[in-house]
Amino acid sequence: MQRQQLNILNNWLQDPNRKPLIIRGARQVGKSTLVELFARQNRLPLRSVNLERHPELAGVFSGKNPEQIIQQIEFLPRQGSISNETLLFLDEIQAVPEAIAALRYFYEDKPELPVISAGSLLEFALADHSFSMPVGRIQYLHMGPMTFSEFLQAMGEERLYELISHYELGREIGEIPHQRLLELLRSYYFIGGMPEAVAVFTETHSYKTVSKVHCSIIDTYRDDFPKYAGSRNLNRMLNVFNFAARNVGIKIKYSNISRHDQSVTIKKDIELLAMARVIGKVVHSHCSGLPLQADLEEKVYKLIFLDIGLMNAICGLDWRELSQMDDVKLINQGAIAEQFVGQHLQALLADKPNRELNYWLREGKSANAELDFVVALGGKIVPIEVKSGATGSLKSLHQFMGSKQTPLAIRFDTQRPSVQQIETIITINKERKPVKYPLISLPLYLVERLDEIVKSYENHR
């Protein structure tokens, strides 16, 4: 399977100032497979060490001499020699945190050796670390589930992949490819982006088999709870895990999760799941300027889940039910479309300095206003609404544009792309105010092109 991160790895390999690389991401998103594919494509002999299986290496990595560390690794069973023409891969590096600290010495004393590491619970090792972090001597790569475009490639839909990967605003998308993309999008809603689920579907085209894979992955995540829960109540964490999947896009109230536990307890459970990258926070920002994270209300947030396929599996949504939903219901009811967009926005922002997701909320006595997402792209604040129907239903977006006066707005729905000038009247502080702004409407399957679309619109405006 092709992954977009391969381009980043290729650039990393050719960088004359290359640093040891740490791939961060949740379990089973394909980190190890990515490294194996990368080594194979570049014809690099791969020397892989799973540190979960070799905790005795903690003492080895405590040393500061990369040559001595390499010599000890070479004595491991079925391990080949390690040279500058090989790729050293330290998998599950969180199991031996001393290896994280040792990366600085590989950078300083043996930069000619390409070193990649990966960890699925790395944030817990970093949070509790008592060693000196190799700041400035390592590079990070954030990785999540497969995106929709990667799903298309895995399905052999190269023409559709090329269409959306190179789409430019103003280009016409015909009705036939549009409908085919919507059909495949619906399949992606059910299958999701976990590589094992995608691989099984490409081989069997069986949604029932995909469901079995989902159950297996979910069980794996639940089995992981003791690794980062410590002495915490595992049943309560399981309840939080299930609640997060079933309440995507809803403002969190701790009392809705448990009436028997203190808010601070539930908050800690949510933070642990977020650190494990099983869930993601979407925090309210007042959006008064950039960066959006400087204007947060940390206590006001909603959640998105790791993967849309796993989310629907936990919610008990089967393929027959999902396949029979009409487009408007898919968009306006439930959390499916919001999860899809949020999941892909996370991928889009993964390697940007401010990659946290935000949304906007205004709570009033008579009426509330809420935007699904607000992101910063190209030095601009970009409000995003996930909705279908007439523009008259975009009341929250009108309110935001009237009060924040950002240059454009984005709507994701199931219609073909369009750009229109919105003119309406809103009420702010009991005063009527005219509002005018450009609205770019995009089909959901173009979410990965959002950055380029925003930039191209600004350049040609």
In 3D, which of 224, 288, 284 has the Cα closest to residue 252? 284
In 3D, which of 51, 220, 193 has the Cα closest to residue 122? 51
CB 409 within 8 A of CB 383: yes
CB 118 within 8 A of CB 31: yes
- Rounded CA separation 366/66 (Å): 65
* 359: DSSP letter: E
pLDDT of residue 274: 92
* Radius of gyration from C-alpha coordinates of the chain: 23
The answer for residues whose C-beta is within 8 angstroms of residue 68's C-beta and 6 or more apart is 60
Using alpha carbons, list the distances in angstroms from residue 324 to 20, 247, 327, 445: 48, 22, 9, 19
Q: Which domains does the chain have, with CATH numbers?
A: 5-142 (3.40.50.300), 175-460 (no CATH)
Q: Coil, strand or helix: which one is 189? A: helix
CB 169 within 8 A of CB 453: yes
Write out the two tokens for 279: 């869930």
pLDDT of residue 306: 97
Write out the two tokens for 265: 């307890």
Write out the two tokens for 406: 């950002």
Rounded to 5°, angle at Cα 315 from 311 and 316: 120
Question: Tens-of-pLDDT digits for all 461 residues of the chain?
Answer: 889 999 999 999 999 999 999 999 999 999 999 999 999 999 999 999 999 999 999 999 998 899 999 999 999 999 999 999 999 999 999 999 999 999 999 999 999 999 999 988 887 777 666 667 788 899 999 999 999 999 999 999 999 999 999 999 999 999 999 999 999 999 999 999 999 999 999 999 999 999 999 999 999 999 888 877 777 899 999 999 999 999 999 999 999 999 999 999 999 999 989 988 999 999 999 999 999 999 999 999 999 999 999 999 999 999 999 988 887 677 656 689 999 999 999 999 988 877 889 999 998 766 789 999 999 998 899 999 998 655 557 999 999 999 998 999 999 999 999 999 999 999 887 889 999 999 999 999 999 999 999 998 887 76
Write out the two tokens for 168: 């430019």
The answer for residues whose C-beta is within 8 angstroms of residue 213's C-beta and 6 or more apart is 194, 196, 197, 200
CB 315 within 8 A of CB 246: yes
CB 150 within 8 A of CB 188: no
pLDDT of residue 331: 64
DSSP 136-159: TS-EEEE--SPPHHHHHHHTT-HH
Amino acid, res. 106? F
Instruction: Write out pLDDT tens, residues 412-456.
Output: 999 999 999 999 999 887 889 999 999 999 999 999 999 999 998
Write out the two tokens for 15: 């960088």
DSSP 283-303: EEE--SSSSGGGGEEEEEEEE
- Rounded CA separation 434/359 (Å): 24
pLDDT of residue 104: 95
pLDDT of residue 461: 66
- The alpha-helical segments, DSSP class H, found in 94-233 are 98-109, 122-127, 148-154, 158-165, 175-191, 195-204, 207-229
Backbone angles phi, psi at 98, to 5 degrees: -60, -30
Rounded to 5°, angle at Cα 308 from 439 and 352: 60
pLDDT of residue 205: 97
